[in-house]
A and B are shown apart, each in its own frame.
Chain A
Amino acid sequence: MNARRLALLALLPLAALGPDARGAAPPRRVLRVCADPNNLPFSNANREGLENRIAELVARDLGAEVRYTWWAQHRGFFRNTLNAGLCDLVPGMPSSLERAWATRPYYRSSYVFVTRRDRGLRIRSFDDTVLQRLRIGVQLVGDDYANPPPAHALARRGLAANVSGYRVLDDYRRPNPPAHIVDAVARGEVDVAVVWGPLAGYFARRSRVALDLVAVRPQVDVPFLPFVFDISMGVRRGDTAFRAEIDSALVRRRAEIARILDEFGVPRLDGRVGSEARR
């Protein structure tokens, strides 16, 4: 606790030097953020994730400092954090989520096919016949009839037998539990994995072997199974004024946000395609 408080104090002078700092008058404003302490590329306790960076950018814009409540993004995350009043802002949630109010989206990404470049598989669509001969890695959630959309798309095409399931909620003692599936492609455990873009982009860059990322097609499978999601920050229902503030900060900081997303290799479908996805 003391260590964390010291860390916060240490950040103060830096934040005060931000370009739009309005925080001359003490006490300084605090932006209370809830995030997962062990989930790169999104966030971690060392504040190394892209959502840490964007949250801090927004805080700087508002002349505030970020104070985190760390909570694993598992079942009950919104209930126990934002909606329990532990914080006011959750960065990085799908814009269509109903558990909180969404700000305007600040990026749009897609599920991608991840393959080893040396395999030359060039998969572009769930309908590519080559998939019938391959081991396909997908992530599974495990309850509420809910799973990431690739699992459904493949099952519907009669490919359930080709699927290897990796748990989104994998062993939480390991760093960044959802990252395991990208490693599985590099190690050849599966021929192809279908992974959420930001996750794939970040870990593909750190992979020992070259990996190709290709946004999946179709973008929306019948009858309604989207693979493309807009990403927003979440605020509590009813926090109208606060949401408007965050919205304006996101607009003002658009260029800097884009640079952060590029830095993390996030494949995007909003006009700025990440470098990995272009290859």
Chain B
Amino acid sequence: MSCPHCSPEPRPKDAGIQVSTLEHPVVALVGNPNVGKSSLFNNATGLHQEVRNAPGTTVEMLSGVWKSAGVELFDLPGTYSLLAKSPDEQVTVDALAGRLDRQPSLAVVLLDATSLPRSLYLLGQVARTGLPVVAAMTMCDVAAAEGRLPDAARLQDVLGIPVVAMDGRKQPAELAVAVKGALTGDAHVRGVRGTPLPADATLEEQLADAQSLFVWTEDVQRQLGTPADTHAVTRSDRIDRVLLHPWVGIPVFAFLMWALFQLATTVAAPVMDWAESLVTGPVTTAVSAILSAVGLGGGLIEGLLVDGILAGVGTVFSFAPLMFIMFLAIAILDDSGYLARAAFVADKAMRAIGLDGRALLPLIVGFGCNLPALAAARALPDARQRFVTAIVVPYTSCAARLTVYILLATVFFGPNAGSVIFLMYVLSILMVIVAGLVLRKVTGAGVNRQPLLMVLPAYQVPRPLVLLSEAGKRTWGFMTGAGKVIIITLTVVWLLLAVPVRGGYTVGDVPIEDSAYGATAEAIAPVFAPAGFGNWQSASALMTGFVAKEVVVGAFAQAYAVDEPEDAAEPGTLGDKLTATFDASSGGHAGAAALAFMIFVLTYTPCLATLAEQWRMLGPRVTLAATGTQIAVAWLLAVAVFQLLKLVW
């Protein structure tokens, strides 16, 4: 469990929050996905929120104090049913039963005015848990535009519980009053009988249970007299005629993917540079000045602070805008209603590897940069899908790896460099597919050929303030969660580079080959001998590549003590030196060894920041197991390719 909020011992800060809210009764917010639940939650709780993972899962649960109602509000994952079909839905079931946290005293159930029968079904299930219920009717504007807005007062009479028609963009004052009243009164839904089914109920029992509620929802619907379907062509239908058109839908989807890819690379790059320069520029200068002033300048402490810790902080800061941009872009696609359509458009392609159509987004973003791809993966609605996607993302060949391919392909394959680089991308896609298929077997995700049955929310204009604040919160979560791992690792790398192991150098002023880093690379190098690149320079470049792939070329240059080439396609003396080293370590099969090295770079690990984010999403155990497996597979692939090519070339 990576999330600090779900560690078994509460931290003092959390304990403080819990004491202050202990006297508040808990109210659970339940509703279908995409019916304005998070918007209601944000309006009710404002800034008094806390995000945490439900124990033992990657499912996020939000809680916050709703001051005007005097309660603690739990925002539970959106679901269509309490007969859970996914880990996310199970969290909602468990939370309502009081198995995850404190037992809720009341449930606020959202009713989608455009799709009342489906919402009433969930309301009936919640009522069966025995909890008092208050209903909040959302999407009223859309339903009114279609001429079939249910009468809230009439619904209140029929159901026998408070029903409040919501305007999603305002403070839910009326709802607060209803909740307060219901906590002391008797808000039990009229006409719903029975208790929740046990967890081990058979499908037949579940169907019979559901059927009895369908009868009830149809009865309520009849008493209300609102038409079920006006046969009107809605605004969303007209948009769908374009965006889901068999010939137009896929190009539009492809264009949006391209735009996301651009955001993760070209657009983010200058902002990332600026954010990093803020730390490496003014902040570093200030720290150096302070250290000099107190007499610690120029020494080991300055090195540790500036080149170790501050460099790490700079890296975290440089990634923060990238994550923010991606969180925001995905949130806009989600909020507008397009993300669900994307799942429909890409369903056929992704189904083959047992993934949701939406998983194509993170995978494509991954070819730009793996880290924001994980940000996009967080938006997937199913925990198993998030799990599989987060693990296969590192196989998408990010732009940073391209610099390594360009250098090696130019040096070793000359006129065929382009084809070799293309081959790396083909291999990358193959690895994603194979890893997806293997994980499908391992996790059981998608084995049953789950049908695609997806509710498409009505299109709406994305709400900028809500989305900005959500993206900000998620970015902050990345900086504090993954940031720690990044800073600690970079500090360790600095220490290894600074400490001399031979040659009588002083600490902090030592050539790489005589540092602890160089000695480690030398110790690791023999492992790569069967793959033809068992030289310390390659090992050192791979160690650096573990931190970030874009510095592998620089690491080679540093190892040979030559200037880093301005353009990796014109390697100059670095090329000659690389050729000599690879020739020696491969016994004259330099080309085969170079290809094996490129394949290893593609497959061994993503960069440190991606690993840190995986750690935060999947927990240490899964991340370490996945990384270990990837390194082993990468080594086997590199060895196999080298040994085979050696025979013929």
Q: State whether these chains interact.
A: no
Partner-B contacts on A (CB < 8 A): none
**Residue positions of B touching A, CB distance < 8 A:** none
